Structure 1
């Protein structure tokens, strides 16, 4: 895959992945659909001067997206990807994970690992604290989508919200992977990379990847009670993979 160079390229490429996923009934299309929504919101923010530095934010978005796209296409070629993305992509081969699990495990890899790397790269040669304001504004973009995603999931299975509220354990499962917490961790990782010598970066990323991949276990094996609840949700999910992608895309 050739790297993308603009935010419009990112949106087009994600659209192609979504189309391919619908054609092949591939659950990887769930995360790509959410990610495309986020990217469109970021583009709107850049176009409407929501960010302090629009061109820098587009550069960050493109660097960030290239990490996911490179991992996605590398995995399609049966080549080695980061442990974090390997966990996420392998989940697509299993029947039982619900849409929410596919989304969360993608968020885990992309935000907990990739975002810090992208932020440190775009701030290279400058004080990374200058990026903090726009980095925080990304939180606002994501927060606006959380409620939207909850509603999309409720379309796929209407009683999902009731079940999530019914058991505190499932609430804890979701809290562990809240986007805000993930992004806070990503900022700390970005600062660590930014303040470290160049010869340490590869090892820091490797160590972070191991930790993020380990965290994926919360999504894959969330415990007996949560797993039973999620299996009930899975049996009640409406429609084919294509239908679910369409629901998320609306």
Structure 2
């Protein structure tokens, strides 16, 4: 693992602007566009709360938010260039136009990839850039998680069909209920601490990161099972 430097204070705003450009360019039904709209809302909310006293260390929270967002945008850029994005993102990019996958599935698959894989690495990058231990970010990590949780509830309400269209027999009911943001957040925090402890051992760090990537990608494939 290489040492990183702190990002510019405006980087979170740049990340949000890139997402707005993507939102304007992508077809509305595109699976990446569905997730991008969700994530843009999260990024804008983190930026807003960063100047409202919500975070214990606002500059560190913005740094984490920017590094978090840059990992998603790197996956977008890789796919656009015909390269292979990380394994956690491949299901979303491969299935983005499938007519049998519903919008909520695209949103959850993107959140799964981003929280399950990217968040742990963003914590490590942030700690390296700010020269601090993960424990110094724990309070604001939880507060970022609170923002995600509040918005996830809205996302489910917005993207789930109404009660007259969705019942207990609909596979989407069971698929959406099988994935938990809270468990993904807890796993990401644990993974970040493990990665921080392995940062001086390149071989183990790389192996753990690769297995994390592959495992999260496998969950993404299940979340994107076509339901018709």
Q: TM bucket by the smaller chain?
A: 0.7 to 0.9
Q: Tell me if the contact between 2:104 and 2:156 (Cα under 8 Å) persists in the aligned partners.
A: no
Calculate the TM-score normalised by the size of structure 2.
0.87
Q: 1:167 to 1:191 in 2, by over 3 A?
A: farther
Q: Tell me if the contact between 1:100 and 1:153 (Cα under 8 Å) persists in the aligned partners.
A: yes
Name the structure where helix makes up a greater proportion of residues: 1
Counterpart position of 1:147: 153
Q: 1:172 to 1:181 in 2, by over 3 A?
A: farther
Q: C-alpha distance in 2, partners of 1:220/1:151? A: 19
- 2:22 equivalent to 1:20: no
Q: Tell me if the contact between 2:64 and 2:122 (Cα under 8 Å) persists in the aligned partners.
A: yes
Q: Which runs of 5+ in 2 are unaligned?
A: 1-6
- 2:182 equivalent to 1:180: yes
Calculate the TM-score normalised by the size of structure 1.
0.79
Q: Which runs of 5+ in 1 are unaligned?
A: 222-226, 232-250
- 2:16 equivalent to 1:11: yes
Shift of 1:97: 0.2
Q: C-alpha distance in 1, partners of 2:105/2:39? A: 15
Q: Tell me if the contact between 2:32 and 2:96 (Cα under 8 Å) persists in the aligned partners.
A: yes
Q: 1:169 to 1:40 in 2, by over 3 A?
A: same
SS of residue paired to 2:82: coil
SS of residue paired to 2:54: coil
Range with greater deviation from structure 2 (168-177 or 110-119)? 168-177
Aligned residues: CA RMSD? 2.2
Q: Tell me if the contact between 1:21 and 1:27 (Cα under 8 Å) persists in the aligned partners.
A: no
Q: 1:153 to 1:168 in 2, by over 3 A?
A: closer
4+ long deviations beyond 6 Å? none
